[in-house]
Amino acid sequence: MLANAQGTFQNLNFESANLTPIPAGQYGGSVSIVSALPDWTGYLGTVQQTQVLQNNYDLGSATINILGPSWNIGYPGIIDGDYTVMLQAGAGAGGLINASIAQTGMVPAFAQSMEFSLAEVLGGNGFSVSFAGNSLSPAVLSTATSPSGQSYNVYGVDISPYAGQTGQLEFTSIANGRDSSLLLDDITFSPNAVPEPSTLALVVMGGLALAARRWHAKGS
């Protein structure tokens, strides 16, 4: 990963949090977003937030949460490192509202793609990713399970049209008729292009075919 060459974007893996650890097995409360998510801003609907929840979440309500460190109260789990962000779309002022985080920075000149780890949990109902107001189209590159037992997808988006440009990068959990939550971690820029959907399909089919041949050989 090119973590040391991420343009002007900062804290893309959320490990820069400056928080007092909550004892393992306990829930936390509200903390300053400046301490929890340095370099990021958070929004519930269109309202910018000054507080987020640490090691806690609110079923049904729109919240922004940071899990970690020492978060071990079952599901959902941390994806990687000490911290993972959880965005909960849900009930808010005037009805169901989205939850999002955003940061303004420059896409590295070398970047062809951007990758991130994401899991839709607790009624996951969709998400969006945008740069400078332009919607990006994520493709699943792989699936994995974290040491905490949390399953997640690694997504890739084509960021090449914006290489060298400055704008706002935004991740949103979408409230589409119900509450919806997602976990987000490990955002990175890469000089490698995102494979075309047809290429991804061939890779998956090839892997399945290889597994089938091995199973057949084992059983014969």
CATH code for position 121: 2.60.120
* Domain range enclosing 155: 30-219
Q: Is residue 14 part of a domain?
A: no
- Judged by DSSP in three states, 12 sits in coil
pTM of the model: 0.85
- Following DSSP, what letter does each residue of 22-63 receive, concatenated? PPTT----EEEHHHHSTT-EEEETTEEESEEEES---TTB-E
Which residues have C-beta within 8 Å of that of residue 201, sequence separation ≥ 6? none
Say whether pLDDT at 163 is over 80: yes
The CA-CA-CA angle for residues 31, 173, 122, to 5°, reads 85
Q: What is the pLDDT of residue 30?
A: 97
The stretch 181-193 carries a mean pLDDT of 96
The stretch 124-149 carries a mean pLDDT of 93
- Tell me which of 117-126, 134-143, 151-160, 162-171 is least confident: 117-126
Q: Is residue 90 part of a domain?
A: yes
Q: What is the pLDDT of residue 72?
A: 86
User: Could you read off the pLDDT of 32-54 as tens digits, one per residue?
Assistant: 999 999 999 999 999 999 999 99
Q: What is the pLDDT of residue 93?
A: 82
For all residues of the chain together, what is the average pLDDT?
86
The stretch 122-128 carries a mean pLDDT of 78
Say whether pLDDT at 201 is over 50: no
Q: What is the pLDDT of residue 199?
A: 46
Q: Is residue 58 part of a domain?
A: yes
Distance CA 138, CA 127 (A): 10
Parallel, antiparallel or unpaired: strands 63-67 and 51-54: parallel
Q: Is residue 22 part of a domain?
A: no
Which residues have C-beta within 8 Å of that of residue 44, sequence separation ≥ 6? 62, 63, 64, 92, 97, 98, 99
The stretch 183-197 carries a mean pLDDT of 91
The answer to whether 103 and 187 have CB atoms below 8 angstroms apart is no
Q: Is residue 1 part of a domain?
A: no
For residue 211, the surrounding DSSP H or E stretch is: helix 197-219
Q: How many domains does one find in the chain?
A: 1
Q: What is the pLDDT of residue 60?
A: 83
Q: Is residue 25 part of a domain?
A: no
Q: Is residue 167 part of a domain?
A: yes
User: Could you read off the pLDDT of 51-106 as tens digits, one per residue?
Assistant: 999 999 888 899 999 999 989 887 899 999 999 999 999 998 888 999 999 999 99
